[in-house]
């Protein structure tokens, strides 16, 4: 709280005087002008109370000592000076911050101008910035081909029709320099490379992914069935529905592919022409991966994820390993279902059409199949993964039976009066199989860190060898949530791969 002497000092300071006028008794008083000035600043109430307090103080203590007022005024002036200095310091800091912000904004504006200018100019001789063949999906990349390398010079000169573009076979493509260039590209664009290498297939797009470093995973043994019940003041937990979990094994896969770079130079130039690209859009090292290796990997993964049967690669009689088939790299989902089909205790819901499926009965077969799926999935529906050839048979049968409907073009993609939609899967083509399961139940296993996958190149003479390693697998979480039809031909193929028929023969003959 302020003492009255502090208020006095403030009033004296406001009025610009050192002491008040005195009446004939020697008491301090306010003049009319002073009252007016104080009223304008603090109002009538303050002036009236101040005058009353001034009179009361003088009556109680006698005249206010001049020295006391001077001390109070000196304190007030010191405080005002300190406040002024603090205010000045804050203003100086604010001005400095404002100046710093202006310099930073000027620097940003300058950089933006440089970027805009450089984006309109061609790259320097030591390389050009690559934007990628698919800007929308891949974005901008920082890899710059080394234009001092003969193969890049030839590549660039040939495209732009320069006379210096001379090709001299293996001497044009120095595999050692190619290897160095390849390593720079993969290190610079590893995320793009790995994402393309493990791109979604028609089947993995229907799965839910598990990121794991485990060699196998297994579902929980049950899930919540119901939570609602009537109230009673006791703990009465509801039991969980019991399901049958399946174990999903993870597999380490690899790529070993050799390429003679000098043999593909004309092929790359033709690709640029066909796709209307420039050398900077598709460097040689990127072409090798994205146009030669990965498209074939897409086909192999699609097939292996469907019908693959893992077989351990063993040395031959000479103590050497040989290349394995793509389908022996991992267990595919149809392999897993075929194994369950032969399991007498399986919990998978297998559908029996009672007859060979033909174009004449296929509509009735799928009506019966839809009816066989558990009621819990009837309302929400499920995707029906199917052999594309079998779907084509269904569509043709539908068009034949209902030629005047909206589906007369054969593009029927669902089972009538249900929420079950067909999803053709390329890896299943020719198998005659189909199955339905929730996406959450169909799993795709990948490494927790996709960038842990390895891609590199080694060279031997004129040969470039592409290496890659990664983990991948597929499988199902709960057997009870699968509704499948496995054809006899697929079951036979599985038995052959597993050696089941041979084992049965050996047992029968005693061999």
291-322 per-position pLDDT tens digit: 999 999 999 999 999 999 999 888 787 778 88
Nearest to 174 by CA among 148, 192, 194, 138: 148
The phi and psi torsions of 325 (rounded to 5 degrees) equal -70, 155
Name the percent of the chain lying above pLDDT 90.
Answer: 41
Q: Which residue has the higher pLDDT, 361 or 50?
A: 361
- pLDDT tens-digit profile of 166-182? 555 555 577 888 899 99
pLDDT on residue 139: 37
Judged against a pLDDT cut of 70, whether residue 471 lies above it is answered with: yes
pLDDT on residue 511: 45
d(CA 113, CA 121): 13
d(CA 467, CA 277): 27
Lowest mean pLDDT among 52-61, 365-374, 469-478: 52-61
pLDDT on residue 45: 81
Question: Would you say 187 and 455 are in contact if contact means Cβ atoms under 8 Å apart?
Answer: no
Q: Can you give the residue ranges of every domain in the chain?
A: 1-119, 326-509
Judged against a pLDDT cut of 50, whether residue 122 lies above it is answered with: no
d(CA 288, CA 194): 14
Q: Classify burial at 101, counting beta carbons within 10 Å of its beta carbon; exposed 0-12, middle 13-18, buried 19 or more.
A: exposed
d(CA 486, CA 497): 16
**Residue tagged 């007859």 (tokens):** 355
> In 3-state terms, what secondary structure has residue 432?
coil
Q: Which residue has the higher pLDDT, 500 or 502?
A: 500
Judged against a pLDDT cut of 90, whether residue 125 lies above it is answered with: no
pLDDT, the chain, mean: 81
In the beta sheet, which residues pair with residue 258? 465
Residues contacting 286, CB < 8 A, separation 6+:
130, 143, 185, 189
Judged against a pLDDT cut of 50, whether residue 217 lies above it is answered with: yes
Whether the model clears a pTM of 0.85, i.e. scores above it, the answer is: no
- pLDDT tens-digit profile of 56-86? 766 554 455 555 556 555 665 666 677 677 7
Judged against a pLDDT cut of 80, whether residue 397 lies above it is answered with: yes
Question: Would you say 411 and 424 are in contact if contact means Cβ atoms under 8 Å apart?
Answer: no
d(CA 215, CA 475): 13
Q: Which residue has the higher pLDDT, 129 or 104?
A: 104
d(CA 360, CA 129): 59
- Report CA torsion sign: 270, 276, 280, 285: negative
């Amino acid at each position: 709280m302020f003492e009255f002497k502090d208020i006095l000092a403030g009033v004296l300071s406001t009025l610009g005087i050192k002491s008040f006028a005195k009446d004939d008794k020697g008491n301090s008083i306010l003049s009319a002008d002073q009252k007016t000035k104080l009223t304008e600043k603090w109002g009538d109430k303050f002036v009236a109370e101040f005058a009353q307090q001034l009179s009361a103080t003088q009556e109680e203590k006698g005249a206010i000592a001049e020295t006391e007022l001077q001390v109070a005024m000196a304190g007030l002036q010191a405080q005002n000076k300190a406040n002024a200095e603090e205010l000045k310091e804050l203003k100086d800091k604010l001005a400095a911050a404002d100046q710093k912000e202006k310099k930073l904004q000027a620097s940003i504006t300058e950089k933006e101008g440089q970027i805009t200018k450089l984006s309109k100019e061609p790259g320097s001789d030591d390389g050009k910035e690559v934007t990628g063949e698919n800007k929308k999906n891949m974005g901008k990349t920082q890899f710059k081909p080394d234009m001092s390398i003969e193969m890049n010079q030839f590549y660039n000169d040939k495209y732009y029709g320069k006379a210096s573009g001379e090709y001299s076979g293996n001497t044009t493509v120095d595999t050692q320099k190619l290897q160095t260039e390849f390593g720079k590209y993969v290190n610079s664009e590893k995320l793009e490379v790995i994402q393309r290498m493990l791109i979604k297939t028609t089947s993995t797009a229907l799965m839910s992914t598990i990121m794991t470093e485990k060699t196998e995973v297994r579902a929980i043994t049950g899930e919540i069935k119901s939570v609602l019940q009537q109230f009673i003041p006791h703990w009465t937990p509801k039991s969980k529905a019991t399901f049958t979990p399946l174990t999903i094994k993870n597999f380490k896969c690899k790529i070993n592919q050799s390429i003679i770079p000098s043999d593909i130079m004309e092929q790359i130039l033709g690709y640029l022409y066909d796709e209307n690209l420039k050398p900077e859009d598709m460097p040689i090292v990127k072409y090798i991966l994205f146009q030669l290796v990965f498209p074939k990997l897409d086909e192999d993964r699609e097939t292996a994820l469907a019908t693959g049967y893992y077989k351990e690669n063993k040395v031959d009689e000479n103590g050497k390993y040989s290349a394995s088939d793509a389908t022996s790299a991992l267990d595919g989902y149809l392999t897993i279902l075929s194994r369950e089909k032969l399991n007498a205790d399986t919990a998978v819901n297998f559908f029996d059409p009672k007859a060979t499926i033909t174009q004449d009965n296929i509509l009735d077969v799928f009506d019966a199949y839809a009816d066989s799926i558990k009621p819990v999935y009837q309302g929400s529906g499920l995707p029906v993964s199917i052999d594309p050839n079998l779907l084509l048979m269904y569509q043709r049968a539908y068009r034949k039976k209902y030629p005047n409907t909206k589906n007369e073009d054969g593009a029927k993609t669902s089972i009538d009066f249900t929420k079950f939609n067909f999803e053709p899967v390329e890896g299943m083509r020719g198998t005659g199989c189909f199955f339905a399961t929730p996406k959450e139940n169909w799993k795709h296993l990948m490494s927790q860190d996709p960038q842990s996958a390895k891609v590199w190149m080694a060279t031997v003479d004129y040969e470039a060898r592409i290496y890659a390693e990664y983990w991948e697998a597929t499988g199902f979480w709960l057997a009870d949530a699968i509704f499948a039809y496995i054809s006899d031909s697929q079951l036979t193929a599985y038995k052959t791969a597993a050696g089941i028929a041979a084992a049965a023969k050996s047992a029968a003959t005693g061999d």
